[in-house]
Amino acid sequence: MTDSFKVIKLRELSLGQLKKISRDLALGLSVQEMARIQSYFKNLGRDPTDVELQAIGQAWSEHCGYKSSKIYLKKYIFGLNSEKIYSQGDAGVVLLDDEYAVALKMESHNHPSAIEPYGGASTGVGGILRDILSMGAQPVAVTDVLYFGIRKYKNYPSPEFIKSGVISGIRDYGNRVGIPTVSGGIYYSDMFSPNVLVNVGCVGILKKDKIAKQSIDKKGIKLIIAGGKTGRDGIHGVNMASANLDSGSANLSTVQLGNPIIKEPLIHAVLEANESGLIYSLKDLGGGGLSSVVGEMLYAGGMGGVVYLDKVPLKENDMLPWEIWISESQERMLLGVEEKNVPQVLEIMNDWDVTSAVIGESVEGSKLTLYYKGEVVMDLDLDFVTSPPLYQRANRITYKEYKFDIPKERENYDGILLKMLSDPNIASKEYAVRQYDHTVRGNTVIPPFTGIIGKEGPSDASVIKINWENYTAISIAHGSNPFYSQIDPYMGARNAVDEAYRNLVSANSIPIAFSDCLNSGNPERPERMGEFISMIKGLSDEARELGVPFVSGNVSLYNETGLKSIPSIPTILAVGKLKDYRKAITPDFKGVGNPIYLIGKPEIEFGGSLYFRIQRKNGGRVPYSNPKVLYDRSERVLKAMDLGLVLSSHDVSEGGLALAIAEMTIGSDIGAEIDLTGLTFGRPDFFMFSESQSMFIVEIQKGKENEFEREMGGSSIKLGYTGGQILNIKLNGRTLINLYNDQIRSKWKEGYT
Amino acid sequence: MEGGVYLNLPKVAVLTMEGTNNEEEAFQSWRGAGANAEIIHIKKLENKIRKLEEFDAIFFPGGFSAGDYVRAGAIMASRLRATVMRDIENFVDAGKLIMGSCNGFQVLIELGLIPNIGGDYEREAALATNLSNRFEARTVYLKITNNTCPFLRKFRINQIIRLPIAHFEGRFIPANEDLLEEISNNNMIGLKYVDPYGKEVGYPWNPNGSVLNIAGVCSKSGNVLGLMPHPERVFNKYTQSDWPRGNEEDYGQLFFKGAVDYLNEKF
């Protein structure tokens, strides 16, 4: 026997020694879990190798095993509107039409980004691209929603360092790999010091009959590893992501290194092999590396397998078998290929200068056996490895008293609106987003900023055409509001879905799929777990009524440091469909003298609202979304758009209708005359700045008021007209807001020239 | 694509290697303009599996060839220089067409194809880091300053058009003042960055700080064009960022249609 692997004398150990072994080998397993493994090997009548223990440590991590969340995801999310899902695997897939389908997924890269922001964020992009590729889909868009802290905490990197690292990481990876970064969001709050959240999404297009499967259900299928070589980077990444963040500088070796210039040809090569029908099954190597992907691919098809670890192309030749097996080195894909197709697949890889090697094959049974230089280093039943214990952890749902401090009424709200425009959560994100290539691939119909060149304002959704033959396109948007979630995780989640949905509708697209990235704290704390469950219930209750499935998602727990935890925050990636992208609608006003309508009704519900936040006041309960109302209004708005009545549209979110209208002036340089007389009998500021859900502002064709109002069935309120160089809002002859378009734009773009 | 029916169409090679990434839209743009386009990995040229002489035009797409970790375009150019430089020179001498956009422009400069004032394919210029010191992704206004180059023949002199840019290294600077003068005197400046009124002004309208606001340069004889903006990304107006405001022109496809017309007339 060589010294490349060790047998661990597990059977004779006490509980205390088991705990020590878990710590010494960085397995991240609890004493109870170690005891379960011990009794398994007692039954087998032998002791495990280090390779075996490491493999179990990977599969049983929270990150891979969803130990704390799976029971709740099954209860509330899985199966929801599932008749509309075409396929689920590393990403979820829904059909667009008879020929095409769309794959989407959003996922967190929070823990690595908190330690090494550049590497963490860039490999986040790399990982999500591979998830889409695994479905046999061409990635067409990358998205990212980022949550940065403000205050620096001792022993942790400064928020400024984190922010610039994350943005550069996304830029350098996305731009180099040639997939446009088209949508996202950036939030700033002390909730995210020092626990930064980096949620990255990807959307891909595939022909539905070319979808790749991710399981192997017959013997003799060869396993090919393709792409980057395997190195010591990213070892124990999943275990690190399944624990609280103890300090900012720890565990640098757990963060992988990305290389987009290996990824770019890998995408071409894999898609070419898939298009030629040469791939039997396909999966990406992410968290847990080979140990996760080989096990999952075989187990899903009821097969066992053999793998020769010495056949894996390595960066460093002295790597030990257990390191090869669990390394999370980037840019790698696992291909299951029928023996007769192996030479052709290897040739395609070679044509693209992509490293590839046959490393094993599927066999009958449920055992996975690993060899290293002729010796068996692991021989385990996949039933055992891939079945971590699932926990229904103690949870406590707390009901808070909401405080409501009434701000004073003002004569004039110019100052308030300008303050809102320059709030870092609202102000233009061009300083980041203009560093991301959003037109590469030549399919971007609506980019993240739209309007007159040099004066562009924000878009609600980005629109990407799917080919060069017809007018079909997809729309992409997000929903998330950490300020609501902090106060009320249940309603925060519902409102996130509402926001994502209305963003898509505002661009004249029909929402067809969601992906949910769920961020939370330590699930071993009952109140955290309670919040987490509330969030999942909120997503479920909202999406069920809207008839849209969650096709994919990810859970990131332990976003916690000492006593400080993030709230339970979902980021929703939403995809919609446009039959004719020439009918896409943007928020910038299009003409002068056109009627402006509000769809919806502002209520006094200001918890987490921008209006109260900038005045440092408590706003009571958060807005309540009603999905039936949202669905009804959306159907009416889409019908009016289809009839050609609507010229521009913007969803009402933070800052209420006043800020929404201000944003519509930015890209158009067209002002608005708004008269609230007769519309509000309470305080006009509550009317202007309410963030009640499911609301839209639309500009419609002149002279079409009657037709439009009929279509809206009573849910529209006429506010005024477009035109001029000024946004003017008045009530009973009194001016509430009077600002030049240029003032609004320059405040919003402050800090970006 | 099958041969046969397409035999008479001009043949275009869209060259690719690891890190190039506009090849798909370039391929589609050439095809849309009526050419028989093919994406060719430069390995196939190096291994002599394919030859440049099969083609009537070459397109160098944008992206980050080989990661641009040395200098933008440098590795792709040095690989080509080492293996097929003679073929490229013959290609140019035959009056066939070459276009490079963004990273492709950087490759043309590294290959010495642009501006090639001296005529011996030395590197005479650079595309340096943007003065803003950041990657710039947005739409710019451009003025057409030469329409004898086949790629620009469908435009009017002084016509203002809009195209997307997305680059970090796009500031055109010739190696010395004399070269700049030669470029101007020989009417080699193809496009310039301008403001919406056609005036040559500074940042942000000149997004990278190029001398004389140069956005694109043709060779002396006009059959080679390098430019930083991306016509291949806006083949039709619906991928032009401001189309919802009623922009009615398809600027991107005019570059490719001009080239295809020229090739149909000449070859």
Q: What is the pLDDT of residues A260-270, one digit of tens each?
A: 888 889 999 99
Helices (H), A643-733: 656-666, 684-689, 705-712
Active-site residue, from A109, A236, A438, A650: A109
Label residue A393 left, alpha or beta by phi (over 0 means left) and psi (-120 to 50 means alpha).
Answer: beta
| Tally of residues, chain A | 753
Q: What residues 482-541 of chain A have any CB closer than 8 A to a CB of chain B?
A: none
- Answer whether residue A48 is part of any domain: yes
Grade residue A355 by pLDDT with cuts at 50, 70 and 90.
Answer: very high
Contact in structure between A316 and A93 (CB atoms under 8 Å): no
Q: What tens digit of pLDDT does each residue of B207-218 get?
A: 999 999 999 999
Flag whether pLDDT at A753 surpasses 60: no
Q: What tens digit of pLDDT does each residue of A302-328 get?
A: 999 999 999 999 998 899 999 999 999
Average confidence (pLDDT) over A155-182? 94
Give B248-265 as a 3 state SS string: CCCHHHHHHHHHHHHHHH
Crossing angle of helices A260-275 and A117-133, rounded to 10°? 0
A109 is catalytic: yes
Instruction: Determine the distance in angstroms separating the CA of B147 from the nearest CA of chain A, rounded to an integer.
Output: 25
Contact in structure between B92 and B226 (CB atoms under 8 Å): no
End-to-end CA gap in chain B: 21
Whether A453 sits inside 8 A of B135 (CB atoms) is: no
Task: Report how far residue A275's alpha carbon sits from residue A133's, in angstroms, rounded to the nearest whole number.
Answer: 12
- Answer whether residue A175 is part of any domain: no
Nearest 5°: the CA angle A441, A447, A452 is: 125
Of the given ranges (A2-11, B3-12, B202-211, B250-259), which has the lowest mean pLDDT?
B3-12
Contact in structure between B126 and B203 (CB atoms under 8 Å): no
pLDDT, mean over chain A: 94
CATH class entry, domain B4-266? alpha beta
Whether B166 sits inside 8 A of A440 (CB atoms) is: yes
Q: What tens digit of pLDDT does each residue of A100-153 get?
A: 999 999 999 999 899 889 999 999 999 999 999 999 999 999 999 999 999 998
pLDDT at B2: 42
Task: Report how far residue A503's alpha carbon sits from residue A517's, in angstroms, rounded to the nearest whole number.
Answer: 18
pLDDT at B7: 63
Residue numbers in A near B136 (CB within 8 A): 434-435
For the stretch A483-496, what's the b/e string if a residue is b when 16 or more beta carbons lie within 10 angstroms of its beta carbon? Answer: bbbbbbbbbbbbbb
* Structural domain span for residue A33: 15-62
Flag whether pLDDT at A58 surpasses 70: yes
Q: What residues 426-485 of chain A have any CB closer than 8 A to a CB of chain B?
A: 433-447, 449-454, 456, 465, 468
Domains of chain A: total: 2
Average confidence (pLDDT) over B84-99? 97
Average confidence (pLDDT) over A278-304? 94
Whether B244 sits inside 8 A of A435 (CB atoms) is: no
Residue numbers in B near A443 (CB within 8 A): 25, 239
Q: What tens digit of pLDDT does each residue of B29-67 get?
A: 999 999 999 999 999 999 999 999 999 999 999 988 877
Whether B239 sits inside 8 A of A465 (CB atoms) is: yes
Structure letter (DSSP) for residue A39 = H
pLDDT at A218: 96
Residue numbers in B near A439 (CB within 8 A): 137, 164, 166, 230, 233-234, 239, 241
Whether B64 sits inside 8 A of A262 (CB atoms) is: no
Q: What residues 352-371 of chain A have any CB closer than 8 A to a CB of chain B?
A: 352-353
Task: Considering only the beta carbons, identify the residue of A177, A259, A442 that sits closest to B232.
Answer: A442
Task: Considering only the beta carbons, identify the residue of A434, A442, A452 that sits closest to B233.
Answer: A442
The domain locations on chain B are: 4-266
* A176 touches B at CB < 8 Å: yes
Structure letter (DSSP) for residue A315 = S
Average confidence (pLDDT) over A245-267? 72
pLDDT at B3: 43
pLDDT at B4: 46
Give A339-355 as a 3 state SS string: HHHHHHHHHHHHHCCCC
Task: Considering only the beta carbons, identify the residue of B137, B245, B246 that sits closest to A436.
Answer: B137
Task: Considering only the beta carbons, identify the residue of A351, A435, A584 that sits closest to B244.
Answer: A584
Crossing angle of helices A627-642 and A526-546, rounded to 10°? 40
A63 is catalytic: yes
CATH number of the domain that residue A668 is part of: 3.90.650.10
Number of Cβ pairs < 8 A linking chain A and chain B:
132
pLDDT at B198: 97
> ipTM, 2 decimals?
0.95
Q: What tens digit of pLDDT does each residue of A566-611 get?
A: 999 999 999 999 999 999 999 999 999 999 999 999 999 999 999 9
